[in-house]
């Protein structure tokens, strides 16, 4: 049988199994790390992006802690038929989506989050919608588009995941950016606008 089934009768083609995609699993509050561990024990590929911050408690020395970038969410890499293993995990309430289908998160956005987490250049940000846009033209985030905000003396790309209505800010250099025209909002987008320091 030729590799290209377009030249053959569709009934003669071998159907390939559906490819795995990334989805957001909605979890119980403060259970993200435990859910992530249980999914790994079940051999389900998952990703829990964390950010490092300093926390202070009364009568205790301040500590550096790793907290979920997106509270109540863990990303899972599964086929549509493998949702049962995720939904059967203690602490998981649902997979984010509409009434009839789950909403896939593009691989590119997951990779951008992985890179930002690895470099400790990411932090939570208030949820934003698309505004004036710019594009990262060099570095590991090259090609990504988003809203640029200024925090003190640093520029950040605000990555907005509309499926879960959350945003994170990724630190970038001004010389890595180029302006682009206003574009339509996408399901998951990187939107940027120049802002003054708070």
- Provide the H-helix boundaries in 47-144: 83-87, 107-118
Q: Write out pLDDT tens, residues 69-108.
A: 999 999 999 998 889 999 999 999 999 998 788 999 989 8
Residue 75 confidence (pLDDT):
97
Per-domain residue ranges for the chain? 1-105, 123-198
pLDDT band at residue 186 using 50, 70 and 90 as cut-offs = very low
Q: How buried is residue 80: exposed, middle or buried, by Cβ count under 10 Å (0-12/13-18/19+)? A: middle
CATH class of 123-198: mainly beta
- Residue 175, Cα to own-chain centre: how many angstroms? 24
Question: In terms of pLDDT, which residue wins out, 135 or 188?
Answer: 135
Strand (E) or helix (H) holding 38:
helix 32-41
pLDDT at 197 over 70: no
Q: Tell me the fold of 1-105.
A: Alpha-Beta Plaits (3.30.70)
Q: How buried is residue 74: exposed, middle or buried, by Cβ count under 10 Å (0-12/13-18/19+)? A: buried
Q: Write out pLDDT tens, residues 112-163.
A: 899 889 888 888 877 766 555 677 888 888 777 777 777 666 777 777 787 8
pLDDT band at residue 185 using 50, 70 and 90 as cut-offs = very low
List the structure tokens of 178.
């180029």
List the structure tokens of 143.
């090609």
Q: In angstroms, rounded to a whole number, what is the distance separating the alpha carbons of residues 89 and 83?
A: 10
Asked, colleague to colleague, whether 1-105 and 123-198 share their fold, the answer is no
How many CA within 13 A on the CB side of residue 186? 18
């Amino acid at each position: 049988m030729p590799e290209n089934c377009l030249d053959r009768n569709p009934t003669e083609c071998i159907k390939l199994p559906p490819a795995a995609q990334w989805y957001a699993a909605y979890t119980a509050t403060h259970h993200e790390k435990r859910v992530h561990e249980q999914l790994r024990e079940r051999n389900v590929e998952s990703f829990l992006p964390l950010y490092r911050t300093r926390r202070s408690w009364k009568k205790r020395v301040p500590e550096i802690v790793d907290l979920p970038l997106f509270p109540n969410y863990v990303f899972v890499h599964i086929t549509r038929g493998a949702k049962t293993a995720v939904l059967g995990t203690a602490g998981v309430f649902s997979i984010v989506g509409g009434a009839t289908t789950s909403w896939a998160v593009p691989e590119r956005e997951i990779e951008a989050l992985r890179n930002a987490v690895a470099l400790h250049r990411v932090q939570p940000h208030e949820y934003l919608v698309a505004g004036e846009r710019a594009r990262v033209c060099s570095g590991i985030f090259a090609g990504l588009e988003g809203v640029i905000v200024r925090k003190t003396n640093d520029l950040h790309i605000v990555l907005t995941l509309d499926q879960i209505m959350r945003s994170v800010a990724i630190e970038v250099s001004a010389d890595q950016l180029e302006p682009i025209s206003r574009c339509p909002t996408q399901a998951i987008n990187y939107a940027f606008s120049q802002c003054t320091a708070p």
